Structure 1
Amino acid sequence: MEGLLLLIALVLAVWLLNLNGRIKILEERISTLVDRMNAGAAPPVAAQRDRAKTPIETSTPHTAKAYASRKTARITADVPNSEPNPVIEPPAPAAQAGDAPEKPSRSWSFEELVGGKLPIWVGGISLVFAGFFLVRYTIEAGLLGPGTRSVLATLFALLLIAGSQWGGRLPKIGESFSADPRIAQSLAGAGVAILYGTLYMAAEIYGLIGLPVTFTLLIATTILAFALALRHGPPTALMGLVGGFAAPWVAGLGANNVPALLLYLGVFLAGLYGLALWRRWLWLLLLASGGGAIWTIGLIATAESALPLIGLFVIVAGSAAVLVGDRFANSDPRLEAMARYAPMGLALVQLAMLLPRLEFSWIGWAFYGALSAGAIALALRDERHLPNLFGALLVCLMPLAAGWEGSAPHGMMAGASIGIGLLFAIPAHARAFEDRAGRAYWAMLALMAQAIPFVAAFSVAKADFSDLGWGITSALLVLPAGFIAWRWRQAASRIDQVTQVASAALAAAFAWLALTHILPNDYFASVTLAVAAALAAWATRTSGEGMQKLAAVPAGFGIFALLVGSWQFLDALFEALGGDQLMLSELPDLGDAAKLTLLPAGLALATGLLPHFALGRIMRKALAVAGGAGLLAFVWLIAKQIAHIDSPSQFITLGLAERVVMTQALFLTGWLALRQAGDSASLYAKAGLAATALALLRLVWFDLGVFNPLYVPQALGPAPIANLGTVHLGLAAFWLWQLARNPIVKNAYPHLPKTAEIGSLILMALAALVTVRQLVQGNLISGATIDVGENYLYSAALLALAIIWLVVGIRGGLSILRLAGLALLTLVTLKVFLIDASALEGVLRILSFMGLGIALIGIGWAYGRVMRAGAARE
């Protein structure tokens, strides 16, 4: 009883609000008429309203002409025998029941929306819920029986529908229906919604009618909703949609009886789809599809039975929504896109959610495959549906990964992965090689079709299969991706370039996976660099900048893998730089080094230096440096095998000799390479300078630094003069002197020759000193004392070297030697006076000073003659 009173109160409130609005309009019109009568002659109110709607005086000429044309046509149609140019005021259009109000020339204000429109719509919705909750109240209170409740609810719904149809004929309140069509619209929508709920209640809750009768009445109700919506417009359809979807929820039901509920939803959705298509209401199609998806998602989450039936319903409802939406043309482009993609996307997501509930059985995969096949068929007919296929593949990744990770049989999951891949790949490959505008998108789809199922299985179930199996599978998948890369080797448009790079990247990834799983782990760096080399060679073939950037990715990883594989070399290098004596047993095994260092280093060096591989300048340099360092490390390891130093005693005997051979070999290699170089940019020139720099670094750091024979015991050789120290430093001085005279070095590096000459002179002086040291100390020169004779011999050796420099410089016209000779002579003189002479006494001191004076005078006289002769020639 309370619910009925509430319903009556709501109806009276709506009627009073409408009556109040009409009274205000009447008062405004009377006030306007009185004001104009007081001001003078007043034209009819209707004419004033028409003139206000069409301001001819302030319109543009084009607008005025258009209005005059419409006015003349209307007059001619109404008065066929009228005289030319009659002066007739345009009549005010009469409002008819059921006609939509004329569209205002200004936007809705907040007052109009909230005060005039929303109350009517909300009131209609309230009527729907009032009817539902009234029935529920009678159930809870036990007031009425099931049959009586159903009959009363049906009568109430029919009463609302009758009011919407014939309310305008009622006395007093009929004018409200005629003035505002939204009242009839809300009543009709509420009546339809209550009818849907009543039928569901009578059939499912009470069992008053059987399935055939229920189905027939549902069809009848849907036809009635069609008719009412056709008459009253979108609000009625919207009210019917809200009521139809809310009916099961208000009744407190969900997954209790899935077949009947799906039957109800199917008939209801069919009616909504048909109405949307008939009235061209695309928005109604989208809302209906979304409402159905909400119900089915709830059933998927809660239902314990009839799950295959839910999957079948999802396929039918989603496909029907897409097909109906495809019939709309020249609509809002955004709504068209939503109708094309949203229903299919919702259906795919629902099936992906249903697969775990079906325990990833064949029936679940069959549902997903059937819907995907439908999407493929639509895309083959109209390529605007192509994004649905990309979405289907991406959504499929979730159930595939979950199935591999869960307890589903591997045989079934393997079949599902292969089936999904083939389902999309076969039509995609077939359409990709046709001469069509969108063929690149089909090619991208084909690539995704082979990548996504593999990624889902590999990322989750890698440990469940052997490496050989994964390698063979990856090798087979190289072929389709490589074929697309070959077909797209000439890319003109942007999308073609993306396809070119994507296909090459996928083929390279599968090739890398195949090789890394088939070959042992020792070849990891080699495989990575081989893939980089293949991509770089393909970049040369395609002349694509994107392909070069793609090749740089595995190249960078390959360099990193080369460094990681050569960690023992790096460890030995750091130990040696710190002064540790390396033993052969601490170095990498020769066979392992060949696989981990030599092979990848050769690939890196070839890729970075040869012109057959297209890469960026920085990556080329990085590959060349990494490859050269790796090759040099392996050559050094081979050289270490010759001396076979594996104990401290062997290091004393052979340590210096081993380093001398290695360093001099580098000097010789640099000299030969520079002789073969044509210019400074050639490979020979770069290699020669690199070898020379490395040799000089070894000489300075190891032989003169951490392993200097003066404080680290090492044998210089048995010969008193032709010792290793003299040979080593002398040859190093020779190579630097040759470097300074190389024409390529002079032209490309103007400051380097002078530096090389100074370094050569310093090494000559050191060679003289080490010769004297061995004459006095013998094979080992690491003694801590320097006696007087040895000190004096140092002065004599340096004095002789200074004289040689002066003589050669004077005869050869080499200013650097003359200046070096004078400088060394000055240093020797200071040493003799300050150090050597202080240790002599008597006749020896006199003779030493006498000899030094005569020698200096002779040198000064000879040097002066040379300078004067040179000045005279100039």
Structure 2
Amino acid sequence: MTSVFWLLVILLVAFAMSHSRVRSRLKKLEDQQQRTHQRLELLERQAQGDAEQNLAAVADGTEKTPTGKPVESVEPPAVETVAPPEGAPPAEAEKSSSAVKGPPRAFVFTGEVMRQFTQWLRQNWTIALAALSLALGGVFMVQYGVENGLLTPVWRVVGALALGALMIAVGEAIRRRYGDERTASTAALPSVFAGAGLVTLFSAVLAARLLYGLVSPETTLAGLVLVSILAVALGWLYGSVLSAVGIIGATAAPFLVGGESESGWLFFYYFAFIAIAGLAVDSVKRWAWVSAVVLIATSSAATLLYVATGGLIHYTAFLALSWLASVTIPVQSFVPTHAGQTVLATLAGLRPRADFPTRVVAAMTLFVSAAGIYLSLEAPSATEATVAFLLVALVLGATLIWMHRAEALKDIPLLPTAAFLAVLALQAVEYGPLFAQFLAMREAATTPATSFITLALVLSAVASIMAFWRMPRSADDARAALGFALGAATFAPASAFIFQFLWSPAAAFGDYLWSLHILAIAAVMTVLTDRTLRSGDANQRQLRAALFAIAALSMLALALFVVLTQTALTLALGVVVILTIWLDRRFDLALIGIFTKVALAIIAFRLIASPGFFWAVRSTTPWLAFIEAYGGTLALLYVGWRLTVSRARLSVQAAIETATWTIAAVFACALLQRLVPDEPGLLAAVMAIAMLAQINRLPTTGRWLRIFRAALAVLFGLVATALIAVPLTVTNPVLFRLNPVAGPAIFDSLALSYLPLAAVLAIGAWKIDTLGRRLRIAFTCVSSLLAGFYVACEIRRFWRGNDLSVPGVTQPELYSYTIALVIICAVLLLISFSRHSHALRKVAMAATGLTIAKVFLVDISGLEGLLRVVSFIGLGLALAGLGWLDRAMNQRWNRMSDKAETPGEGGDL
């Protein structure tokens, strides 16, 4: 009784609210009718006045309009077919569809749509509750039976089917007589009854199998298909409310019915049929939000079901079916023909936006790709993980081949491409089932250990060929064609690189067999290069061919990396550099210079860092291997440099010159270090070489790479400074007795400590044109100071022996310093004369002044007798000679400048 009482109360409240709304609407209609009547009277009076004026003007033959203008023949305006605006509610969309030729424009979820839906729900909450109550009534009837189980299971299912059919019949009767969304009094009522009937039918079919076991799985599947077909047919006749009720109710029905069954896998196909039914309805109605609701609801339900019960194979089938449906059904074509803007362009802010079917394909492809990655990692076995991987591969192949006519879907292959590579990488990083099986079989030395890697490489090569096939079919869009070329050139090599550096397949294949796999990909890239060069399309042909040539050379280098030893690999890379330069000369492939620079960087890295300088100076390294690595590489680089001289590839020429000089300097330092070990000055020279190499490449690099190179140059410079500080302080033979000089005169440990860095900085200041003036002066000063310190130490060793830390300075030693300074001044003057350098000349004269100051302030105090006379006479002659040389330089430069100002003299007319 209590429940009946509250039910009566609710009905009375609902009746009162409905009566109040009816009265307010009638009042509004009466007011509107009165205003319309007043306007009609006003127009009638104006028409009478205009008629009198026209009668008076008939005699003149110039009939006037009320505004005074002549009457013209006016045709009735053409009715403009206006599509409902995007974001319009379902009712308005269907009202405006009568004035539009073709299907109405689809709308999506926007803030305006949600606001209008909330307003509709606030005004029609009784109808929404009625739909929910009817649907739950049908579901609970199936679950609990009739009258506490008095009916048998068969009659419970029959009763539920009859109830569902009755609800659909009631809805159809109301729709036929009063309509669904056209009359205010019966708006949405037919959809409510029909939607509740569909939910009841779905629940009855599921209960017949899951709760009572009355039918086989095949019969259950057939029943679900029939109900889905009925839902499609009703959705084409009814409004959007039916679609919403049917989709949400049918998706939630299995969770409401409950029960346990061994045929739970049927639910995945059940959800797929719901998705197909909803998309089929929306392909005609073009509501768009129905497609979004059905895909979100079914995908969420299937994912929850998989997480709860498993069944990866059937979940994968659901993903495949729902993805196919999302591609084909909205455009009503088995071959995708999506036109318009791409999703990437829409995300970039370009107008117009991508159409709704295009966005549906992008969203479902993203969902399926992400699901494939997740399933491959969380699969209970390697076989099921392979199935998930094959799903991603099939989607990739379909987006490349099947979607080639869809202009708006040309960016979709990016999603499965990223998923394909992500599966290969994450299997190793996250220790997935495929990688775990590979390790187990590798340890057991069984043949199937390599099967997945071979399969993945074959699929990646096929995908690259598919992308190459798409390349000329996108000739109208240069960016798309270049994108497919880039994908074809990088996809298969990227898979090989992932396997090489994350899976270590050579341990299972063996070095030679694994290198054959890599060379097979190199062969595919070579064929694609040849096909590109032979193609008739000259648009960007050289650029695309260069991409494939770089891919082939990369695979060749990787195969060499697998097979060859350290030294042989370095030499092989030198051969690859020569090959790339020859290809550029032969086919004019400018882009291949990028690969040349990368190969040069790898060679320099190997000979400087890893194994590099430390390998070269190690006592266990054979002299033959050391000479082969550095000498052979320098010979190959020289050949490559000779090839670049006759070709205007200035950036490549600069790169090979930088690499050659860098490797040659490291080779010289390593050779000296092997002869005389434990000299940090040599390491400082190596760091200085690396610093100058980065500085030399700054003008030929982009903005961000220039910043990176500048940072590297600063880092190398700081390391060189720290290293050279050791022989200047801690191991300085002048400061500490424990550091005697070793080796023969001139070519001793002093030379190894100070001369290499001084020579590197001097050559850098001389040869590198990109150095700034201040940096050039700084390098010259540091180089001069190091060289001067070396000369001073050699003079002291000549007079005092190997221990330079002994106290005091003898007179011969002191005078030797003066002679050295005089010689340096003369050399500086000669160099300044040959180079016409006023700055260097000033430096030479300043050094001369310092020499004179030294003589008069230091040397004169220790000289006596004839030695003093000879010394001053010699110094005077030397200074006189320097003065004469300076004056002669001045006169010569003045004559040269005067001759340059008067070019007409001497018969040069």
TM-score of the pair, normalised by structure 1:
0.64
Q: In the alignment, is residue 454 of structure 1 matched against residue 496 of structure 2? A: yes
> Are the structure 2 counterparts of residues 375 and 33 from structure 1 closer, same or farther at C-alpha, using a change threshold of 3 Å?
closer
Q: In the alignment, is residue 276 of structure 1 matched against residue 293 of structure 2? A: no
Alignment correspondent of 2:627: 594
Q: CA deviation at 1:703?
A: 3.0
Alignment correspondent of 1:115: 122
Task: Provide the C-alpha distance between the structure 1 equivalents of 2:74 and 2:169, rounded to a whole number of angstroms.
Answer: 41
> Are the structure 2 counterparts of residues 273 and 145 from structure 1 closer, same or farther at C-alpha, using a change threshold of 3 Å?
same
Aligned pair partner of 1:318 in 323, 327, 351: 323
Q: CA deviation at 1:293?
A: 3.1
Task: Provide the C-alpha distance between the structure 1 equivalents of 2:41 and 2:171, rounded to a whole number of angstroms.
Answer: 33
Q: Secondary structure at the match of 1:803?
A: helix
Q: CA deviation at 1:462?
A: 0.5
Task: Provide the C-alpha distance between the structure 1 equivalents of 2:7 and 2:171, rounded to a whole number of angstroms.
Answer: 16
Q: In the alignment, is residue 391 of structure 1 matched against residue 464 of structure 2? A: no
Alignment correspondent of 1:166: 173
Alignment correspondent of 1:861: none
> Are the structure 2 counterparts of residues 9 and 271 from structure 1 closer, same or farther at C-alpha, using a change threshold of 3 Å?
farther
Task: Provide the C-alpha distance between the structure 2 equivalents of 1:350 and 1:811, rounded to a whole number of angstroms.
Answer: 88
Q: Secondary structure at the match of 1:325?
A: coil
> Are the structure 2 counterparts of residues 514 and 41 from structure 1 closer, same or farther at C-alpha, using a change threshold of 3 Å?
closer
> Are the structure 2 counterparts of residues 430 and 103 from structure 1 closer, same or farther at C-alpha, using a change threshold of 3 Å?
closer
Task: Provide the C-alpha distance between the structure 2 equivalents of 1:566 and 1:135, rounded to a whole number of angstroms.
Answer: 76
Aligned ranges 1:255-266 → 2 under 5 Å: 256-266=262-272
Aligned pair partner of 2:355 in 325, 329, 334: 334
> Are the structure 2 counterparts of residues 343 and 42 from structure 1 closer, same or farther at C-alpha, using a change threshold of 3 Å?
closer
Q: CA deviation at 1:450?
A: 0.9
Q: CA deviation at 1:257?
A: 1.4
Q: Give the counterpart letter for 1:359 in structure 2.
A: A
Task: Provide the C-alpha distance between the structure 2 equivalents of 1:212 and 1:796, rounded to a whole number of angstroms.
Answer: 125
Aligned ranges 1:428-447 → 2 under 5 Å: 428-432=467-471, 436-437=475-476, 438-447=480-489
Deviations 1:269-306, CA, capped at 9 Å, x for gaps: 4433433334445544454344443344345444456x
> Are the structure 2 counterparts of residues 597 and 28 from structure 1 closer, same or farther at C-alpha, using a change threshold of 3 Å?
same
Q: CA deviation at 1:739?
A: 5.1
Q: Give the counterpart letter for 1:324 in structure 2.
A: I
The answer to whether the 8 Å contact 1:15/1:176 transfers is: no
Aligned pair partner of 2:382 in 336, 339, 359: 359
Q: Give the counterpart letter for 2:744 in structure 1.
A: L
Aligned ranges 1:762-773 → 2 under 5 Å: none
Q: In the alignment, is residue 520 of structure 1 matched against residue 565 of structure 2? A: yes
Alignment correspondent of 1:685: none
Tell me how large the CA RMSD over aligned residues is. 6.2
Q: In the alignment, is residue 423 of structure 1 matched against residue 444 of structure 2? A: no
Q: CA deviation at 1:221?
A: 2.8
Q: CA deviation at 1:15?
A: 6.3
Alignment correspondent of 1:23: 23
Task: Provide the C-alpha distance between the structure 2 equivalents of 1:662 and 1:702, rounded to a whole number of angstroms.
Answer: 10
Q: Give percent identity, aligned residues only.
A: 14
Q: CA deviation at 1:335?
A: 1.2
Q: Secondary structure at the match of 2:382?
A: coil
Task: Provide the C-alpha distance between the structure 2 equivalents of 1:206 and 1:569, rounded to a whole number of angstroms.
Answer: 78
Q: Give the counterpart letter for 1:327 in structure 2.
A: Q
> Are the structure 2 counterparts of residues 746 and 160 from structure 1 closer, same or farther at C-alpha, using a change threshold of 3 Å?
same
Q: CA deviation at 1:413?
A: 0.9
Aligned pair partner of 1:740 in 829, 836, 839: 829
Task: Provide the C-alpha distance between the structure 1 equivalents of 2:751 and 2:38, rounded to a whole number of angstroms.
Answer: 125
The answer to whether the 8 Å contact 2:139/2:200 transfers is: yes
Q: CA deviation at 1:421?
A: 1.9
Alignment gaps of 5+ in structure 2: 45-71, 81-90, 100-111, 341-352, 439-447, 678-737, 771-775, 805-811, 891-909
Aligned ranges 1:589-628 → 2 under 5 Å: 590-591=623-624, 593-594=626-627, 611=645, 614-615=650-651, 623=659, 626-628=662-664
Task: Provide the C-alpha distance between the structure 1 equivalents of 2:354 and 2:886, rounded to a whole number of angstroms.
Answer: 89
Q: In the alignment, is residue 406 of structure 1 matched against residue 436 of structure 2? A: yes
Task: Provide the C-alpha distance between the structure 1 equivalents of 2:663 and 2:862, rounded to a whole number of angstroms.
Answer: 52
Q: Give the counterpart letter for 2:25 in structure 1.
A: I
Deviations 1:475-516, CA, capped at 9 Å, x for gaps: 443344456567778999999898577546544543443333
Task: Provide the C-alpha distance between the structure 2 equivalents of 1:652 and 1:543, rounded to a whole number of angstroms.
Answer: 55
> Are the structure 2 counterparts of residues 119 and 519 from structure 1 closer, same or farther at C-alpha, using a change threshold of 3 Å?
farther
Q: Give the counterpart letter for 2:563 in structure 1.
A: I
TM-score of the pair, normalised by structure 2:
0.62
Alignment gaps of 5+ in structure 1: 48-64, 74-96, 573-584, 642-647, 683-687, 717-722, 773-785, 818-874
Q: Give the counterpart letter for 2:841 in structure 1.
A: P
Q: Secondary structure at the match of 2:329?
A: helix
> Are the structure 2 counterparts of residues 194 and 711 from structure 1 closer, same or farther at C-alpha, using a change threshold of 3 Å?
farther
Alignment correspondent of 2:874: 801
Q: Give the counterpart letter for 1:360 in structure 2.
A: T
Q: Give the counterpart letter for 1:801 in structure 2.
A: G
Q: CA deviation at 1:619?
A: 6.1
The answer to whether the 8 Å contact 2:421/2:495 transfers is: yes
Aligned residues: 725
Q: Give the counterpart letter for 1:277 in structure 2.
A: S
Task: Provide the C-alpha distance between the structure 2 equivalents of 1:518 and 1:72, rounded to a whole number of angstroms.
Answer: 77
Deviations 1:736-787, CA, capped at 9 Å, x for gaps: 635533478533x4311332465578789999999x9xxxxxxxxxxxxx9x
Task: Provide the C-alpha distance between the structure 2 equivalents of 1:398 and 1:10, rounded to a whole number of angstroms.
Answer: 57
Aligned pair partner of 2:788 in 697, 700, 716: 700
Aligned ranges 1:55-204 → 2 under 5 Å: 69=76, 112-116=119-123, 120-121=127-128, 123-133=130-140, 135-136=142-143, 145-167=152-174, 178-204=184-210
Task: Provide the C-alpha distance between the structure 1 equivalents of 2:492 and 2:370, rounded to a whole number of angstroms.
Answer: 21
Task: Provide the C-alpha distance between the structure 1 equivalents of 2:192 and 2:272, rounded to a whole number of angstroms.
Answer: 24
Task: Provide the C-alpha distance between the structure 2 equivalents of 1:626 and 1:3, rounded to a whole number of angstroms.
Answer: 94
Alignment correspondent of 2:724: none
Q: In the alignment, is residue 243 of structure 1 matched against residue 249 of structure 2? A: yes
Q: In the alignment, is residue 233 of structure 1 matched against residue 244 of structure 2? A: no
Task: Provide the C-alpha distance between the structure 1 equivalents of 2:851 and 2:205, rounded to a whole number of angstroms.
Answer: 109
Aligned ranges 1:565-584 → 2 under 5 Å: none
Task: Provide the C-alpha distance between the structure 1 equivalents of 2:267 and 2:79, rounded to a whole number of angstroms.
Answer: 59
Alignment correspondent of 1:510: 555
The answer to whether the 8 Å contact 1:18/1:176 transfers is: no
Q: Secondary structure at the match of 1:615?
A: helix
Deviations 1:207-241, CA, capped at 9 Å, x for gaps: 34455764554444334323322222222122211
The answer to whether the 8 Å contact 2:171/2:190 transfers is: yes
Task: Provide the C-alpha distance between the structure 2 equivalents of 1:41 and 1:448, rounded to a whole number of angstroms.
Answer: 76
Task: Provide the C-alpha distance between the structure 2 equivalents of 1:175 and 1:44, rounded to a whole number of angstroms.
Answer: 34
Alignment correspondent of 2:258: 252
The answer to whether the 8 Å contact 1:443/1:499 transfers is: yes
The answer to whether the 8 Å contact 1:421/1:453 transfers is: yes
Deviates more, 1:439-448 or 1:117-126: 117-126
Alignment correspondent of 1:207: 213
Aligned ranges 1:770-849 → 2 under 5 Å: 795-805=868-878, 807-808=880-881, 814=887
Q: Which one has a bigger Cα radius of gyration? A: 1
Aligned ranges 1:273-312 → 2 under 5 Å: 273-280=279-286, 282-303=288-309, 307-312=312-317
Q: Give the counterpart letter for 1:746 in structure 2.
A: R
Deviations 1:236-281, CA, capped at 9 Å, x for gaps: 1222111121111211258741353345345444433433334445
Task: Provide the C-alpha distance between the structure 1 equivalents of 2:638 and 2:855, rounded to a whole number of angstroms.
Answer: 37
> Are the structure 2 counterparts of residues 461 and 806 from structure 1 closer, same or farther at C-alpha, using a change threshold of 3 Å?
closer
